Amino acid sequence: MDIDKDLEAPLYLTPEGWSLFLQRYYQVVHEGAELRHLDTQVQRCEDILQQLQAVVPQIDMEGDRNIWIVKPGAKSRGRGIMCMDHLEEMLKLVNGNPVVMKDGNPSP
């Protein structure tokens, strides 16, 4: 069972629902409104994080500012080492996608 799906939740937000969500988001973030049932939500988040930690051993390293050091194989002797911050681009590079790689170097 998917831990991210609440079987009671609607599958999508209506335009009115989205508008209400944004209105409440801005009230909390910009106007200092407080969340109801905060303790329950915090506990639910902690439970989900514990479940994730059981299946994602490097969860503490996850984030939106990750940087991967990509090193070429063979006898490159330190040449061609790159730092990348977009997972999709890095995966294309290491999978040897001909659009990304040209003569051992990433194409622009």
Q: What is the pLDDT of residues 83-100, one digit of tens each?
A: 888 777 877 887 774 444
User: Which pLDDT tens digit goes with each residue over 17-56?
Assistant: 888 888 988 898 888 888 888 888 889 889 988 888 888 8
What amino acid occupies position 60? D
Q: Are residues 51 and 76 in the same domain?
A: no
Extract the tokens encoding 63: 């984030």
> Is-above-0.75 flag for pTM?
no
- The answer to whether residue 54 sits within a structural domain is yes
DSSP secondary structure, 55-106, as one string: H-TTGGG--SS--EEE---SS-TTTT-EEE--HHHHHHHHTT-TTTEETTEE
CA dist., res. 101 & res. 70, Å (int):
13
Q: 20 lies in which domain range? A: 15-61
Q: Give the model confidence (pLDDT) of 64-77 as tens digits.
A: 677 888 887 777 77
Please tell me whether residues 54 and 72 are part of one structural domain: no
Number of domains in the chain: 2
Neighbours of 90 (CB within 10 A): 19
Q: Is residue 42 part of a domain?
A: yes
